Amino acid sequence: MPQVLIICGSESDKPIAQKAEDVLKEFGVSFEYHVASAHRHPEKVDSLIAASDAHVFIAIAGLSAALPGVVASKTTKPVIGVPVNAKLDGLDALLSMMQLPPGVPVATVGIDNGRNAALLAIQMLALSDAGLAKKLREFKKSMKK
């Protein structure tokens, strides 16, 4: 069972997902990666969410960036949105994720920042995993050097 499910809206978002995957691997966090557009493949998005036992979702999308909101509307689990710089320097995607209606929360990280999305997912998982919490404390200590 993956702890994190990463969904990209487009195959072109893979480099951003790779940043998240690298961090998750570094911490020993299991994950799955899929490409499924909220607009072009809504049924696939639905089935991925329904079938997933992941504890946290990372949704990566550019342009209208509907994917994180769609995922959040279909689950009670935390959703982290990663806006992609596809047009308008990524501001369109960033604002789309940050301006969701009440009751559909998406934690949003910086534009193209898959690394921070993974770290936020790890922080969420570490709330109930002492070993992961220890690794995270050590990581944060090492950043101060």
84 by Cβ neighbours in 10 Å (0-12 / 13-18 / 19+) ranks as buried
Q: Mind listing the pLDDT tens digit for each residue in 61-112?
A: 998 889 999 999 999 999 999 999 998 999 999 999 999 999 999 999 999 9
The DSSP call for residue 30 is -
Q: Mind listing the pLDDT tens digit for each residue in 28-68?
A: 999 999 999 999 999 999 999 999 999 999 999 998 889 99
The model's pTM: 0.95
d(C-alpha 55, C-alpha 3), whole Å: 5
User: What is the pLDDT confidence band of residue 145, given thresholds at 50, 70 and 90?
Assistant: low
> In what helix (H) or strand (E) does residue 83 lie, and over which residues does it extend?
strand 79-83
Q: What residues contact 14, with CB distance under 8 A and at least 6 apart? A: 8, 35
